[in-house]
Structure 1
Amino acid sequence: MGPQRGAALADRLADAVTRIDAPDVVLAATRRGVRTVVTGGTALSPPTPRHALHYELGSLSKTFTVLLLTGLARSGVLALDDPLAAHLPGLPLPHPRSRRITLWHLATHTSGLPRIPADLIAGALLHPYANGYASYDTERLLRTFARTRPRHRPGTRWRYSNFGLALLGPAMSRAAGAAYPELLADRVLGPLGLADTTLGPGTTGTDAIGHRTNGVTPVPGADMGAFAAAGSVRATPGDLLGYLEAHLSPEATPLSGPLRDVQVPLLRRGWRYRNTHTLTWYHHPAPHGPLLFHVGATFGQQAFLGYHPATHTGLVALATRRGRTCRMISTAYELLYALAGEPAV
């Protein structure tokens, strides 16, 4: 990409930043390995530059977890069609459907489990900014799973589930003989060179501070407790660009097999089955070929990652606000779709 195209892309990112109503915004693109990063927002610039902060990824963490899962499957530690129960020995499962749930079902949101456990719903309704995940430990997660009856037969219906993804954490830990954070660091973050990606808060001043929908009131960092596999990753924009570049050029990484595996379209859902999914990414039609993306949110932050393999384009969007008027997700998606229609030369 030449200097003129690079300047034009920076201008487009800067224009998009102005359409996002948030205290802190980062838009970062990679095209054929050339990176462009633009920051802004309605708040004063923080002491640490916005492009150097660690942002909470929320549900985008699931893409890291499922990449880890495919790597463990490729190495023979487990198989995607293993029953979840096989990796949770001794756990009583009175519901027959629970015993039929596989690791594949958890990854693809087809397990039949609800979005969140029932015992978290009441607290979330009464105290929407209270973090019920923080005190939810693995023992409680497994007890709740044991008594939860899946709402439909596993593999028959897509239903987004933080609950299901969270269960991949203890299942992988049991299979590999190591804790989820250690597995993710050793088998994903390390091999991909993501030194600024973590599962918890960084040193003082390095984490982005989220806000409530008023854009002013700070929100404490999200402690996900036993739901770490579903939503605990924090990363800098630079690391997220590296993560997308790994997906765009799997052969240049030590994880070429797993990175290819997570991009294969596997199932359809929605009206007339128009929505396609891979193991972990939403998969939408676009000019010249499909684009893949995922979104995430915590109590005070939003995140978007998307990439278009045909033009070797990736886009990172991050904001320290969660609210209906933020417009970050729609702005990022529209920008990536537009970039997909242009040749990256």
Structure 2
Amino acid sequence: MTTAYRTPWPGSPLRRDDEPAVRHMPRRAGEPEPGHGDDDRGARLEAAVAAADAPDAVFAVSHRGRRMVRTGGTAPPPHRPRDAVRYEIGSATKAFTGLLMADLVERGMLTGGEPAAHLLDPTRPPDPAPVTLAHLITHTAGLPALPPDFYVRALPAWRTNPYARYSGERVVTAFLRGRPRHRPGTRWCYSNFGVAVLGHALAAATETTWQDLVATRLLEPLGLQGTALRPDDVGPDAVGHGRNGAEVPAFDAGGFQAAGAVRATPHDLLTFLEAHLDPSRAPALAPALHAVRTPVLRRGFKHRHVHTIAWFRHPADGGPLYFHGGATLGQQAFLGFRPDTGTAVAAACTRRFRSGDPFVAAAYALLADEQ
């Protein structure tokens, strides 16, 4: 069910990114008190690995520049250390896409108000209520989660690689032929389809392939040498597992690269998050790294759900925390950071949980309880 929202972006922010939280995050029953010191932090990381109960699990924390990583799992140890392989981060890719969008806006290459259809088809007649790039990145374009014909095409490979059967050309065609379910900018509805369209629109606007755009604008400036956008048969990629424990093929995002294609090592993910904590680490991206902290949308009861163009944002004791999760058929990831405590959490595992997810709960608690 979608809900009404307010957004000023492009434009003035709803609240400064350093404004303190207005309420405290409640602690769940049985959770430990916030930890202090490396010994306690290491113990909580080890507990998180055990709680994940996955074939392979990695929980990594950066606290005021000091990193700590714990790995484990129910499967035999792999040939390479678990923290040295790339994990599929699924929808957490949207944090990369949001940062890329912010960078292009901060550089004056885009405003966010461009109609996506015009970028993808310059011959298309103007639409009186167009879907803009800002609508796509904020999930307010009125698009469904997936294209209407996605399920028919994906069904033969539903348990192996459904997205691989839906190309970028089909994503663009489905968008240009369809119509939003709601007037753009009036309702929020999480949409892999919308962010996928955004990726193709950004590539069209810059006359650059998506892979090259991400590589030159994000991966190179951040020094992310352990991050890739597609499976690599000879590379250090983790192997995902289904609910029954069987291995699943490497995820192929097809035409949905901007929504879920990134795979990265835990150390690269920490580097990505540390740049958000201290934008001076990546001067070329510093304006964009500040911009993605700014709230652009509120929704739900009393507008308590707050979003930036890259992150979900929750209040915490000393200031807001930012996070995004993601999953593929056989893997999961969690990314988050807290400027008030100088903490970043990157976690990955090789199993996708369907209900009562202990992995996300453990990762979120590491971030929320840090001091």
TM interval, shorter chain, is: over 0.9
Is the partner of 1:207 in helix, strand or coil?
coil
Counterparts of residues 208-223 of structure 1 (less than 5 Å): 208-214=238-244, 216-223=245-252
Cα deviation for residue 118 of structure 1 reads 1.2
Gaps of 5+ in 2: 1-35
Q: TM-score, normalised by structure 2?
A: 0.86
CA distance in 2, matches of 1:126, 1:219: 15
1:286 aligned onto 2:321: no
Deviation at 1:122, TM superposition (A): 4.1
Any idea what SS the aligned residue of 2:188 has? coil
Task: From 26, 33, 44, give the equivalent of 1:12.
Answer: 44
Correspondence for 1:247: 276
Q: Deviations over 1:97-154 (max 9, x none)?
A: 7x51110111111111000111113455676414222122222111111222211111
1:332 has 2:363 as partner: yes
Q: Within 1, Cα distance between the matches of 2:45 and 2:99?
A: 29
* Equivalence for 1:34: 66
In structure 2, give the amino acid aligned to 1:57.
I
Distance across 1 between alignment mates of 2:164 and 2:157:
14
Considering only aligned residues, what root-mean-square deviation do their CA atoms show, in Å?
Answer: 1.8
Are the counterparts in 1 of residues 150 and 166 from structure 2 also a CA contact under 8 Å? no
Counterpart contact for 2:161–2:249, Cα < 8 Å: no
Shift of 1:274: 1.1
Question: Is 1:213–1:323's contact at 8 Å kept on the other side of the alignment?
Answer: yes
Q: Tell me if 1:87 matches 2:119.
A: yes
Long gaps (5+) in structure 1:
none
**8 A Cα contact 1:81 1:102, kept in partner:** yes
1:84–1:162 CA distance, 2 compared to 1 (3 A): same
Q: Name 2:266's counterpart in structure 1.
A: 237
> What do residues 208-263 of structure 1 show as CA deviations (whole Å, max 9, x unaligned)?
0000012x211101111111111100100000010010000012312100111111
Structure 1 residue 7 displacement after superposition: 2.3
Partner residue in 2 for 1:155: 185
Query: Aligned partners of 1:16 and 1:206: how far apart in 2?
Result: 24
The one of 157, 161, 169 equivalent to 2:199 is 169
2:21 corresponding residue in structure 1: none
Give 3-state SS (helix, strand or coil) of 2:163's partner.
Answer: coil
Residue 73 of structure 1: how far off its partner (Å): 1.6
Q: Supply the distance in 1 between the matched residues of 2:124 and 2:163 (Cα, whole angstroms).
A: 23
1:270 CA drift (Å): 1.9
Distance of aligned partners of 1:93 and 1:271 in 2 relative to their CA distance in 1, 3 Å threshold = farther
Corresponding residue pairs, total: 334
Identity of aligned residues (%): 49
Separation (CA, whole Å) in 1 of partners of 2:179 and 2:201: 19
Deviation of 1:200 after TM superposition, in Å, equals 1.3
TM-score with structure 1 setting the length: 0.92
- Structure 1 contact 22–326 (Cα < 8 Å) conserved: no
Q: Aligned pair in 2 of structure 1 residues 93, 222: CA closer, same or farther (>3 Å)?
A: farther
Instruction: Give the aligned partner of residue 29 of structure 2.
Output: none
- Correspondences of 1:1-150 after superposition (within 5 Å): 5-90=37-122, 92=124, 96=127, 100-122=130-152, 128-150=158-180
